[in-house]
Structures are given as C-alpha cells and as structure tokens.
Amino acid sequence: MVIVMEHNATSEQVEHVVDKLVEKGFDVHRSTGVDYTVLGAVGAKIVSTRDFAAMSGVREAHRISEPYKLASRAFHPEGSRVRIGDVEFGGDEVVIMAGPCTIESEAQCEEVAAGVAEAGARVMRGGAFKPRTSPYSFQGHGEKGLRIIRKAADRHGLLVISEVMESAQIPLAHDYIDIIQIGTRNMQNYNLLRDIGKSGIPALLKRGMSATITDLLLASEYIMAEGNHNVLLCERGIRTFENLTRNTLDLSAVPVVKQISHLPIIVDPSHAVAIRNRVAPLSQAAVAVGADGLLIEVHQDPENALCDGAQSLYVSQFSELMDSMRRIAQAVGKNIAEPTLA
C-alpha cells in the first residue's frame, strides 16, 4: 500500500499512520517531498485502503498488489488449463458451448443437441433453473429438465453446462452437470460460491452486470479458496448508458484477464447483444480477440422459444457461424476444439 499524506499533515499524524501500518505487519518506507510525504507499506497482508484513507492527515491510499491471490497470474505465470472430460479450456483450442436458453422438452433437446454436435460444439448449454427478472416469467423445469439435457447430450457426445441458483441444487449438479454455470446475478452470492468450491465441480462464473474485472477475480477466489481450481471466467456484457444493446459486451476484458489472471476466459455474446443477427459478428470478434471458449444460444425454433428466442440462433445459422469461427481461429494461430472420433 502507498499512503500519500496531506500537504499540511503534522508529524504526529504521519507517526500515527506509520504506527498503524507497523501494527498491521507492514514494513514502512518514508519519502519526503516538497509537497507531500509518501509512505510505502510493504507486506503480505491484504487490508482495506479505505480505512487508512480515512485517518486524519491522509490524502490518499493506494493498493499496490492485487486484492486476490489464487486467481492472479503473478503466481501462476503460464496460464491454467482446465480439463473437463476430453475437453480442455485454456490451450490453443477454442471450445464452443451451445444450446437453448431453457430446456423445454425431450424433442427440443434432442433436435438442438444433434444440430450443435453436428456443427462441432463440444458442450451443450440449457437452463433448468432460470433466474428471471420478473416473477411472472417461466422459471424452468428443474430436475426433470436436467435429466432431459443429460440424455440428449450423452447421445451426441456433448458435455453439459447448466445453471445452479442455490446451494440446495448442488447435489443435482453432481448427478447431471459437467460444468456448473454461476449466473450474473449470483456472481457475488458468496455462500453459493463457497459451496460450489466445496463441491469440486468445474464452474463457469459469469461476470456481474456491474462487476469490474477485479470483482470477478475476487469472486473466483471464493471458489478456489475451497480447493476447486476448475474455474472458467465468463464475460457476458456490462451495464452502460447505451440502450440499443441490452448490455455492452466488453471484449477488452479478454486480453486484460489473460494478462492479470491464469484462468481461462469465455465469452457469451448472446445475452449482451440480445438480437439474433448481432450474435455472429460478436462471436467472430470473441474468437479474434483470444477467448478460450464461447457460450452461444441456439434453438431449433427460436420464434416459439419459451425464453430468449430473440437472441437464439437457428441451428443452420450456428453451423455457418462455426465455419467462420474456424477460419478466424486459424487466422490467429488457434483452432476450434473439434469432437474426437469415437
């Protein structure tokens, strides 16, 4: 931490801050300039800069190390690879996850699973528990839905990713899910994060609508602190003043995360752009910017989808998009992860 004292801070005030720092276990280095005295506090502990910023005579306090540890690239410089089944995230292959917003029926899941597997997806997405902004919207089929998606995915060699909304649903995840999705609204539901950490099940953690990248890494720390290091981060759009898109997809987050964290970073373009014909260009951009995977909504009959039909691709559109993503991946020295032959 670096503490800048006020222009007119008294020496008593400076001493008081130094004492407090030493008490907290820091080594303190003092620099006295014409205008300001600066204290450099070096130590292992994470403390609140605001508590120091509020002390009398203090002008500003800056953190000089990240507030997270396990998620930091500083201590795991080469980048993590997260292997789930025969799929690996974080290497030279871009993993495509696709499927409907919500699991509606066996016929639907079979049709989508067949379509996306044929096109080259490795993981099937589909929601059984749906967090909806309105209590009057459809809330998902629960366990019955999970059973359906599991069967459809198995028939086509796909892994399953699905959202878990509360700790009580984690046992179901053990039975049916390969990757637990933690939704935007639950990014800071700390009890849930801890319990998923304890479960050991791989997790995809979506960035909160108003979470900074630092917040996202701190949230991932809750999972990893319980010993579960199979964490995928996911950029899905942040809230801004722009209103022609639902959220603003922050693709800069991909190179930033690559630089400061070792965890794989996935992009979900569907929720941010919210309108079908914008999903393909943003998916292409996500591959070009270096994402380790994508999460894309695909539906066999979007006009009659129970939820998010407007942003779901037709199966045929998804198949075309896979082709253009393959070309782009190659253009940047990577590959789309392809199904292994049986």
Residues of span 132-191 touching a second copy by CB under 8 A: 132-137, 165-167, 185-186, 188-191
- Does residue 242 touch a second copy according to CB under 8 A? yes
Residue 30 neighbours by CB under 8 Å, 6+ apart: 14, 18, 37, 38, 39, 40
**Near a second copy in 18-47, by CB under 8 A:** 27, 29, 31-36, 38, 40, 42-44, 46
106 or 215, CB closer to a second copy? 215
Distances (CA, A) of 46 to 25, 42, 43, 130, 282: 10, 11, 8, 36, 38
Contacts of 283 by beta carbon, 8 Å cutoff, 6+ apart: 267, 269, 294, 296, 321, 325
Closer by beta carbon to a second copy, 101 or else 124: 101
CB of 330 to a second copy, least distance (A): 7
User: Could you give the maximum distance between any two Cα atoms of the chain, in Å?
Assistant: 76
Q: In a 3-state reduction of DSSP, which class is residue 297? A: strand
Per CB under 8 A, 340 contacts a second copy: no
Contact stretch for a second copy (CB under 8 A) within 59-67, 111-119, 150-158, 173-181: 59-67
CA 330 to chain centre: 24
Footprint of a second copy on 182-241 (CB under 8 A): 185-186, 188-192, 194, 208-210, 212-215, 218, 221-222, 225, 238-241
Residues with Cβ < 8 Å from 256, sequence gap 6 or more?
213
User: CA 198 to CA 283: how far, in whole Å?
Assistant: 33
Mask of contacts with a second copy, 62-101, x by CB under 8 A? x-xx-xx-----xx-x------------------------
**290-319 residues near a second copy, rule: CB under 8 A:** 290, 302-303, 305, 307-311
